[in-house]
Amino acid sequence: MRKVVTFGETMMRLTTCHHRRFGQSTTYESAFAGGESNVASALAKWAVPVVHVTRLPKSDLGDAVVDGFKSLGIDTRFIQRGGRRLGLFFVEKGVSIRAGKVIYDRADSAFATLSPADFDWPAILEGSSWLHFTGISPAISENAARACLEAAQTANRMRLTVSMDVAYRSNLWQWGKRPAEVVPELVKHCTVIVCSPHDTAELFGIYPRPDEDPFRSVCRQLMGQFPALTTIITTERGQQSASHNTLRGKCWQGGRLLVTDTTDIPNIVDRIGGGDAFMAGFIYASLAAKDTLSALRFGVAASALKHTIDGDLPLASVEEIETIMNGDTSGRLTR
Amino acid sequence: MRKVVTFGETMMRLTTCHHRRFGQSTTYESAFAGGESNVASALAKWAVPVVHVTRLPKSDLGDAVVDGFKSLGIDTRFIQRGGRRLGLFFVEKGVSIRAGKVIYDRADSAFATLSPADFDWPAILEGSSWLHFTGISPAISENAARACLEAAQTANRMRLTVSMDVAYRSNLWQWGKRPAEVVPELVKHCTVIVCSPHDTAELFGIYPRPDEDPFRSVCRQLMGQFPALTTIITTERGQQSASHNTLRGKCWQGGRLLVTDTTDIPNIVDRIGGGDAFMAGFIYASLAAKDTLSALRFGVAASALKHTIDGDLPLASVEEIETIMNGDTSGRLTR
Amino acid sequence: MRKVVTFGETMMRLTTCHHRRFGQSTTYESAFAGGESNVASALAKWAVPVVHVTRLPKSDLGDAVVDGFKSLGIDTRFIQRGGRRLGLFFVEKGVSIRAGKVIYDRADSAFATLSPADFDWPAILEGSSWLHFTGISPAISENAARACLEAAQTANRMRLTVSMDVAYRSNLWQWGKRPAEVVPELVKHCTVIVCSPHDTAELFGIYPRPDEDPFRSVCRQLMGQFPALTTIITTERGQQSASHNTLRGKCWQGGRLLVTDTTDIPNIVDRIGGGDAFMAGFIYASLAAKDTLSALRFGVAASALKHTIDGDLPLASVEEIETIMNGDTSGRLTR
Amino acid sequence: MRKVVTFGETMMRLTTCHHRRFGQSTTYESAFAGGESNVASALAKWAVPVVHVTRLPKSDLGDAVVDGFKSLGIDTRFIQRGGRRLGLFFVEKGVSIRAGKVIYDRADSAFATLSPADFDWPAILEGSSWLHFTGISPAISENAARACLEAAQTANRMRLTVSMDVAYRSNLWQWGKRPAEVVPELVKHCTVIVCSPHDTAELFGIYPRPDEDPFRSVCRQLMGQFPALTTIITTERGQQSASHNTLRGKCWQGGRLLVTDTTDIPNIVDRIGGGDAFMAGFIYASLAAKDTLSALRFGVAASALKHTIDGDLPLASVEEIETIMNGDTSGRLTR
Amino acid sequence: MRKVVTFGETMMRLTTCHHRRFGQSTTYESAFAGGESNVASALAKWAVPVVHVTRLPKSDLGDAVVDGFKSLGIDTRFIQRGGRRLGLFFVEKGVSIRAGKVIYDRADSAFATLSPADFDWPAILEGSSWLHFTGISPAISENAARACLEAAQTANRMRLTVSMDVAYRSNLWQWGKRPAEVVPELVKHCTVIVCSPHDTAELFGIYPRPDEDPFRSVCRQLMGQFPALTTIITTERGQQSASHNTLRGKCWQGGRLLVTDTTDIPNIVDRIGGGDAFMAGFIYASLAAKDTLSALRFGVAASALKHTIDGDLPLASVEEIETIMNGDTSGRLTR
Amino acid sequence: MRKVVTFGETMMRLTTCHHRRFGQSTTYESAFAGGESNVASALAKWAVPVVHVTRLPKSDLGDAVVDGFKSLGIDTRFIQRGGRRLGLFFVEKGVSIRAGKVIYDRADSAFATLSPADFDWPAILEGSSWLHFTGISPAISENAARACLEAAQTANRMRLTVSMDVAYRSNLWQWGKRPAEVVPELVKHCTVIVCSPHDTAELFGIYPRPDEDPFRSVCRQLMGQFPALTTIITTERGQQSASHNTLRGKCWQGGRLLVTDTTDIPNIVDRIGGGDAFMAGFIYASLAAKDTLSALRFGVAASALKHTIDGDLPLASVEEIETIMNGDTSGRLTR
């Protein structure tokens, strides 16, 4: 398969142990995580050549993140080193009827204070077929937004597939501009986006029409507005409790709405990173020349299986995901 | 809000790790716990001024309990220090179809051997609006029973609300008298009690009438017998398994039966302390001038949420409880 | 009760912690386990005199296994010590929709390289009423198969009940012969076997008739082929997910099919060893002179309860199992 | 070797983790421990047939203690089951210049409330060559003291070697009599005692003469007072810090003072149980027909090695102890 | 004793487990720590009324810090809540010949971005006898430096003892001014400082004279420059390895040099916070009206004992410290 | 620097936790380790391009080893995958006067059963300057010995530096030939060997002359026997206890004996892998064009520092090692 490039912040994730609340925990499990490098990690695990581009501080903590990438086989050559601190987030996992909580601590991180000129996008993207980033990066700082734009423009010019998970998080946008001033400019260069009908009002001023399926409705409007766009995907999550969700995927492509079956996910171990596993699965299966519905189904299966795995990364094989995708969620013991 | 005073034994709780059985575990998690201080802890967490009264040994273990109270903001000035040992209990949490087990080790504890004369109730209760204790204390020793009576009488005289969770545990009553000789004398001074129809025969010689809802039936008889009593509350627990319960609250007040909706609690983390969270929730909402049904619903929500939290204490905020109370048990991730 | 003798390999089981995947775990929980010693452990826990016969290396690891047997009260006098290594297996427990995985590492273990002549079966079986082994031992090596045959022949001659869990695992048979060349020779000496209709084709060349219940069908054919056989038992497992199974038992005896109710097992802790608990339960209840259906129900209850207990061993009391057997799977807290 | 019988209380030991102080630790490591059963455990580990006699409650915790004994091969047939609670002690290990702390919680334990008549000493001691107990048991309660006396008298009558570690702990003697009223009566029946010159004033009214080595001085007086006594042993501990001690043994026998070399013990892991390892080592080597000085040296080596092992029990082989005894404390890696 | 007020940043400390290096550790132990609150914690532990003033974010992590203060009995009423993040530091403890490492992550913390006007110093200091702060606060940000100055000026005006640990860390001074432009202005208002001869060049332009003891030399010059100053203290640390240090205290007061004995600290558990324990000990003993040499000796003992305790806080009693101070560093077990 | 190639077995190392003995531990820490890959890991950590060649099973455990290599930046392209099992070893770390223990379990491992023809040495060694292997590989199996010979011959032909740590372990040689029949054949192709005077009798029939320094004596004889050899190095270890060693290096080269200073290593964390760190350090410094004595000193420093790090790998930077090499073993905290 041809190379995929991902761009975005990777943080240290500090999770309380044994379902403890923040006020109870005296130990934290540490791992590295970030929307875009989660995608890179999954693709690398599935043997796709992948380059992750980010900025990390010159410190033992930054080194540990890079070593983690290397262990997965991610190409780390284009990672910038510098800045004052590693972005962090603290996680209290949800369970039963109790909601999970995430406390972000990414202000002034190495990534937030990156310098766009340090990234030589033509060199980075050389030989690649796909660029992926998310709407979190442009939310973090003006420089990060600028870097995304340059990456997307270059990739578009070099005829890569460009995907963006628009992932709107209102409380991240602190640097001055509103998302609607920034995100549409980025989507202009995208071929594929992940976008739910809940986000389009704030990001694009697009509202679902009352008489139409909301996803279909916003997709039709988005397609009208962004001619480069060919594919919009999303997941619909049913939440019976923090320990029990359901998931299905939807895709709008070529004027057609594709919908997967619903996967039931009981006894969830860790749902963070589920969206990234979906994106990674969709990219993998697309690169593997599956049809779009199969790619969507592979993405949903990858995401569902991620919910059973500790940490942000969907550390499962293609075969394991295909088992889920083919409807075998029986968890039968393999000897 | 005005001050609440709680009185009862606080113990060290030693719980096996990772669902291990007693015979398997070589490590125990320790925490402090006790029916009445669980209520105090919850109220303190919710910013109600609260005084907990108990007796603890002069030892590093006793100190650790006091420090724990302080960390929650509980007023510890009236705690007596002395006696030979800290009461303990060992817990093997239930899971799936396997029942949890509790081994009490509270014989001759500092609390069981307290001296009633050491507690200056008028001084302790000065400026308070509510006294709470449980039926466990009078079961432990004659002295403890006497102290409860003196506390209740004084509180009643000082026109506080007096609540008692009658919590009948047959195997605790070893000091000579039968519960029916002691408990009614205490309830005489109570305004609010927690009482289920299963307990009234043994405690009061009251039996539900066969042709009536059992809770309503015993409440009507109790009200007749105890004129000071205005409110009787209880929870009904459905037990699908040790990991999956349901809960609803009932209240008899002013000749009316109030019943909450049923809350489903899947994937239970730790159910011990659930009853205390219910009581605490009811006290909190009553002090916050909610109507009785709202107080009952808040109590049920606090109890349900407690089941998702490790340890006896319902370490959740008022907002989190209100989310559950308003029916959102989806456990949606908060970023 | 009279003595039971079990014969088979006991290994060190190394399980990843906290539902981690093999690639994630830097810590392993160790325990000893093996199909036949799991049965011995359960019987010893339930106060049945039991002798386990196996071969273990002379090393601190071998000593630890023997000490574990002793702690349960198993008679270890006939354990051979020698050989190069302790058999091992690595476990990644399943959860939710993710399947569990077992990696066996038993090649050239002390047991696989045993010498049949070292076991003096008449002396070992003296005073016993039951011999139990499984189809795993003859799969491991020719010598192990030979030892099983000698044990079964001797036991049969001494008029013991001889039980075999045929437990067909295709990937274990590496030493030269096909199972169909070995297993029938062993079953010839058995009174009781555990056998599912999925295994009979490979082991006996027996296929269920299309117009008949498959278990009944293969049982009738087996009975015809093996005159010594009086009883065939099996469990049917429903697998909603790795965390949620159902279980019921079936028995063919005296031309009659006995079937138990189905037990629901949510929130599974550890399902490995469930089949051994079933066998142990059936043996225990048979020795306790229960009727066959009761023995079957006791076996299913023991197996179901095992799913809630960490490790291979069903560390539960007879009373706890009877509670499940009597339908109380509510997991009600015992104080 | 002929059988040894030990009699005394076995407790659950709860130790804070990772050198934490009591006020810091939220986890405790549990193990079973007790002066006399520590001796029994060591002897059993070294293949001496040994019977431990004690009283434990009927509970899962009591069962766990018995199972632990069994795993070591200790004969548990004469253990009484009953009473209200298991004795406990809490440990904060010392390190560097910080002293370790022990909090005992053995009031009203199953052992303290034993009934002397329940122990049939002639039957228990039948076939044994040695009885061992300590001065802790008579300190706990009048009944325990009486049981010790009956055991010692019977053993003496049956011509066993009777050893007592007089182990004077002033704060344990709470039941009414002073140690000097009880201990001499017990020593009257002893052949061997462990006794340091610091304890003889309180226990026997014997003071070292100012012009003589204190140990020699008190030994001569003790020998005069107790004609049955043949041997008095003790260890002298040098304490550079909680992490670094030195140890040597002394023995008075046949009018001769034997003294071992001094063993240096740096980087101590856990010093509790060191005295019991010394006693066990002396008993083992005496039974193995070593000369007295060798027995003393074996005892010191066993004790020194115990300081490197977590928990009360000297889980080391005879060969490992002999390596230390022969002066090789280099800790050379064994591959 | 009269009240002490401390002012400075409190952070979350994240320490790798079991001597792991940053690149190895997947778990971190969390605790709260900071030079000034370490002093406050020690004083509170020793029953001195103490107020800690700082700024913490409104988050569950900020709440946990406040709860920790409360558990120690520290008055938290004057803590400001706000800002974007909690300051953090990561610790890899040293051991043997390997140096420990600290990675600070306090940029843009709640404390660094405090607003001086939010602190009403006359109200905070009312009724107090001592104000303590360190040279770390003015290094963090201009606002923090300003707040220190206002606090010191007000305290001086209110005739409190004002102490400052000048604690020069070159890499913290990033906000524009050099330490020599800021620190002398603060010391002008101080009565007591902790200062080593290594720091005076950078902070005050003062160099030890070549022909004089360096500490004495710089003290004489400092005294000349700062008339309010009465006392200068410091510790001299000998470093045999990361696991073995020695410590002695020095004090210049009234033209006299006081020097303590040297304390040997083998098998160090955690040396971070040792300097704060020294300061706290000196304050405590001064308030307890000890003479200066005794106060210095108490400070050194408190610091030495801190090295044996996990975390920044010297969680030891006055009695334990006095044992060390009196030369008993034998670590003798307390039963 | 030019590439280094290492060849040898990498195993899973399972270490008991917290200084527990094998019989006590219910948890094992897992890591990958092996003499040659330890060298590779160190070199990769120090930024030397390095290829490790081995054989690992196709399993999740084999994958985890490869991922670990990748995280360090080791080139894994030439690793063969196949065989039945991953070699293992179990470790009980020594402490104080207690010796550490290693139980090897490498029989029939993937490496032991490798096929020499699968390794295309000219391709593997292309572009490299150094080949390293140890005397453990030829001890394991005939095929492994053959592969070593082919590698050494090819490397020699391609004019690489060839180093071998002769590492004689008598109990490993089980496959038929004596070491003296195999090892000299290998050394014939070596430029550099690690060899202590204790090993030469068994390996080469060479004995130190009584009147000469043993290392010098055997070196002179070896040099005579193996003309290709230019350099012989070794370490001399002083063992005060398992927690306290000393180390110095010796080198024979060009007829001269070089000896380093002795480094004191107190409070050892983990000494396994110390020899490999020495070798790695010598290779690194040689490649960095240091003089031989400096290379020897760097090797000793790397080895000493390794003793302070958990696991087999010397996870320390060049700067950290140079600090030790320059005599600063004070463990001073780095902020």
pLDDT digits (tens, 9 = 90+) for D198-240: 999 999 999 999 999 999 999 999 999 999 999 999 999 999 9
F8 and F36 Cβ atoms separated by less than 8 Å: yes
pLDDT digits (tens, 9 = 90+) for C24-52: 999 999 999 999 999 999 999 999 999 99
Within an 8 Å CB–CB cutoff, is residue C71 touching chain D?
A: yes
Tokens of E79: 């803590």
The neighbours of chain F, by the rule of 3 or more Cβ pairs under 8 Å, are A, C, D, E
The Cβ-side half-sphere exposure at E63, using a 13 Å CA radius, reads 16
Given a cut of 90, whether residue F98 has pLDDT beyond it is yes
> Which among B264, B320, B331 has the least Cβ separation from residue A242?
B331
* B 183-242: CB under 8 A from E: none
Mapped to the 3 state alphabet, what secondary structure does chain C carry?
CCEEEEECCCEEEEEECCCCCCCCCCEEEEEEECHHHHHHHHHHHCCCCEEEECEECCCHHHHHHHHHHHHHCCECCCCEECCCCCCEEEEECCECCECCEEEEECCCCCCCCCCHHHCCHHHHHCCEEEEEEECHHHHHCHHHHHHHHHHHHHHHHCCCEEEEECCCCHHHCCCCCCHHHHHHHHHCCCCEEECCCCCHHHHHCCCCCCCCCHHHHHHHHHHHHCCCCCEEEEEEEEEEECCEEEEEEEEEECCEEEECCCEEECCCCCCCCHHHHHHHHHHHHHHCCCCHHHHHHHHHHHHHHHCCCCCCCCCCCHHHHHHHHCCCCCCCCEC
Q: What is the rounded average pLDDT of the residues F176-203?
A: 96
Alpha-carbon span C260 to C263, nearest angstrom:
9
What would the pLDDT profile of D23-50 be if each residue is shown by its tens digit?
Answer: 999 999 999 999 999 999 999 999 999 9
Minimal CA–CA distance to B280: which of B294, B293, B298? B298
- Residue B271: its chain C contacts at CB < 8 A? 333
Nearest CB to E85 within list A17, A28, A105: A105
User: Using CA atoms, how far apart are residues E142 and E115, in angstroms rounded to an integer?
Assistant: 10
Confidence of residue E171 (pLDDT cuts 50, 70, 90): confident
Pairing of β A128-134 and β A3-7: parallel
C68 contacts in chain D (CB < 8 Å): 71
Interface check F73 vs A, CB under 8 A: yes
pTM: 0.97
Provide the token pair at D103.
């909090």
Q: C267 in contact with B at a CB cutoff of 8 Å?
A: yes
The CATH T-level fold of domain E3-325 is UDP-N-acetylmuramoyl-L-alanine:D-glutamate ligase (3.40.1190)
| Percentage, residues of chain C above pLDDT 90 | 96
To the nearest whole number, what is the mean pLDDT of chain D? 97
Does position E169 have pLDDT exceeding 90, yes or no?
A: no
E107 vs A84: CB contact, 8 Å cut-off?
yes
Does the beta carbon of C176 lie under 8 angstroms from any beta carbon of chain A?
Answer: no
Quick one: CA dihedral C139, C141, C142, C148, positive or negative? negative
For F156-173, the pLDDT digits (tens) are: 999 999 999 998 888 889
Tell me how far apart the alpha carbons of residues A168 and A25 are, in angstroms, rounded to a whole number: 30
Interface test with C, best of D58, D60, D69, D70 (most C CBs within 10 A): D70
Q: Are E139 and E8 in contact (CB under 8 A)?
A: no
C171 confidence band (pLDDT: 50, 70, 90): confident
**Which chains does chain A touch, 3 or more C-beta pairs < 8 A?**
B, C, E, F
Share of chain F above pLDDT 90, in %: 96
What are the phi and psi torsion angles at C188 (to 5°)? -50, -30
Query: How many Cβ contacts (< 8 angstroms) between chains B and C?
Result: 84
Which of E14, E23, E60 minimises the CB distance to A64? E23
Compute the average pLDDT of residues A15-38. Answer: 96
Min Cα–Cα distance to chain F from C274, Å: 21
Q: Which residue of D has its CA nearest to B103?
A: D59
Q: Which of C304, C310, C316 comes nearest B20 by C-beta?
A: C310
CATH of domain A3-9+34-83+115-325: 3.40.1190.20
Q: Which two tokens stand for residue C295?
A: 């023995």
Residue A312 with chain C: CB contacts under 8 Å: none
Write down the pLDDT at residue D294: 98
Residue D194: CB atoms within 10 Å: 24
F32 Cβ neighbours under 8 A, 6+ residues apart: F10, F11, F12, F13, F64, F65, F68, F69
For residue D255, count CB atoms less than 10 angstroms from its CB and return exposed for 0-12, middle for 13-18, buried for 19 or more: exposed
| pLDDT digit string, tens, across residues E76-124 | 999 999 999 999 999 999 999 999 999 999 989 999 999 999 999 999 9
For chain E, the average pLDDT equals 97
Whether E31 and chain B come into contact, CB under 8 Å, resolves to: no
Confidence of residue C123 (pLDDT cuts 50, 70, 90): very high
For chain E, positions 51-70, list CB contacts with chain A under 8 A.
59-61, 63-64, 67
The reported pLDDT for the residue numbered A196 is 95
Beta-strand pair B256-259/B244-253: antiparallel
> B55-59, C208-212, F153-157: lowest mean pLDDT where?
C208-212
pLDDT tens-digit profile of F27-53? 999 999 999 999 999 999 999 999 999
Residue B24's closest CA among C29, C8, D39? Answer: C29
Beta strands in chain F, from DSSP E residues, in sequence order: 3-7, 11-16, 27-33, 50-53, 55-56, 80-81, 88-92, 101-105, 128-134, 161-165, 192-194, 231-241, 244-253, 256-259, 263-265
Q: Which residues are bridge partners to E15 per DSSP?
A: E29, E91
Q: What average pLDDT does this structure show over D168-193?
A: 94
**Running DSSP on this structure, what letter comes out for residue D80?**
E
3-class DSSP assignment, residue B3: strand
Average pLDDT in the A308-315 region?
97
CB-closest option in E21, E100, E242 to F309: E21
pLDDT-derived band at F267 (thresholds 50, 70, 90) equals: very high
Q: Which residue has the tokens 């909090």?
A: D103
Q: D52-96 pLDDT, tens per residue?
A: 999 999 999 999 999 999 999 999 999 999 999 999 999 999 999
Question: B319 at the A interface (CB within 8 A)?
Answer: no
Reply yes or no on domain D3-7+35-59+73-79+116-325 having CATH 2.40.50.1020: no
- Per-residue pLDDT reduced to its tens digit, E179-234: 999 999 999 999 999 999 999 999 999 999 999 999 999 999 999 999 999 999 99
User: Which of E22, E30, E108 minimises the CB distance to A28?
Assistant: E30
What is the nearest CA distance from F297 to chain A, expressed in angstroms? 26
User: In this complex, how many residue pairs, one in chain A and one in chain B, have their CB atoms less than 8 Å apart?
Assistant: 84
The alpha-carbon gap from A333 to the nearest alpha carbon of chain C, in Å, equals 5
- What would the two tokens of residue E145 be? 């430096």
pLDDT for B271 equals 97
Q: Report yes or no: B225 and B206 within 8 Å, Cβ to Cβ.
A: yes
Give residue C30's pLDDT: 97
Among the residue ranges D286-300, E259-273, F165-179, the one predicted with the least confidence is F165-179
Give the pLDDT confidence score for residue E335 in this predicted structure.
84
Using left for φ > 0, alpha for ψ between -120 and 50, and beta otherwise, residue C120 falls in beta
Q: What is the pLDDT of residue B171?
A: 84
pLDDT in tens, C98-117: 999 999 999 899 999 999 99
Amino acid sitting at position D183: V
- Cβ contact (<8 Å) for A99 and B323? yes
Q: Is the model's pLDDT at C162 over the cut of 90?
A: yes
Mean pLDDT, residues D120-144 taken together: 97
Contacts of C171 in chain F (CB under 8 A): none
Tens digits of residue pLDDT in E143-160: 999 999 999 999 999 999
State the average pLDDT over residues A167-178: 90
Name every chain F residue with its beta carbon within 8 A of the beta carbon of D335.
102, 104, 169, 171
Among the partner residues F23, F60, F90, nearest to C22 by beta-carbon distance: F60
Q: What is the CA angle B52-B56-B57, rounded to 5?
A: 165
Share of chain D above pLDDT 90, in %: 96
pLDDT at B152: 98
B84 touches E: beta carbon within 8 Å: no
pLDDT at D170: 85
First to last CA, chain E: 31
Q: Which two tokens stand for residue A23?
A: 């006020």
For residue D21 the two structure tokens come to 């102080």
Find the closest chain A residue to E62 by CA distance.
A23
* Residue C170: pLDDT over 90: no
Mapping DSSP onto H, E and C, the string for chain A reads: CCEEEEECCCEEEEEECCCCCCCCCCEEEEEEECHHHHHHHHHHHCCCCEEEECEECCCHHHHHHHHHHHHHCCECCCCEECCCCCCEEEEECCECCECCEEEEECCCCCCCCCCHHHCCHHHHHCCEEEEEEECHHHHHCHHHHHHHHHHHHHHHHCCCEEEEECCCCHHHCCCCCCHHHHHHHHHCCCCEEECCCCCHHHHHCCCCCCCCCHHHHHHHHHHHHCCCCCEEEEEEEEEEECCEEEEEEEEEECCEEEECCCEEECCCCCCCCHHHHHHHHHHHHHHCCCCHHHHHHHHHHHHHHHCCCCCCCCCCCHHHHHHHHCCCCCCCCEC
Report yes or no: F59 and C103 within 8 Å, Cβ to Cβ. yes
Q: Does B315 touch chain A (CB under 8 A)?
A: yes
pLDDT over 90 (residue C335): no
Neighbours of chain D (3+ CB pairs under 8 A): B, C, E, F
Q: What is the pLDDT of residue D1?
A: 79
* Mutate: best of F71, F74, F76, F309, partner A, most A CBs <10 A: F71
Measure in Å the smallest separation between the Cα of C35 and chain A Cα atoms.
Answer: 14
Are F28 and C26 an interchain contact pair (Cβ–Cβ within 8 Å)? no
Whether residue E99 and residue F323 make contact (CB cut-off 8 A), yes or no, is: yes
- Please report the residues numbered 111 through 170 in chain D whose beta carbons come closer than 8 angstroms to any beta carbon of chain E: 169
pLDDT bucket at C304, cuts 50 / 70 / 90: very high
Q: Which of F19, F28, F335 best probes binding to E when mutated, by most E CB atoms within 10 angstroms? A: F335
The pLDDT-based confidence of F234 (bands split at 50, 70, 90) is very high
Protein fold of B9-42+50-114: UDP-N-acetylmuramoyl-L-alanine:D-glutamate ligase (3.40.1190)
- Does the pLDDT of residue A335 top 90, yes or no? no
Give the residue extent of every domain in chain F: 3-325
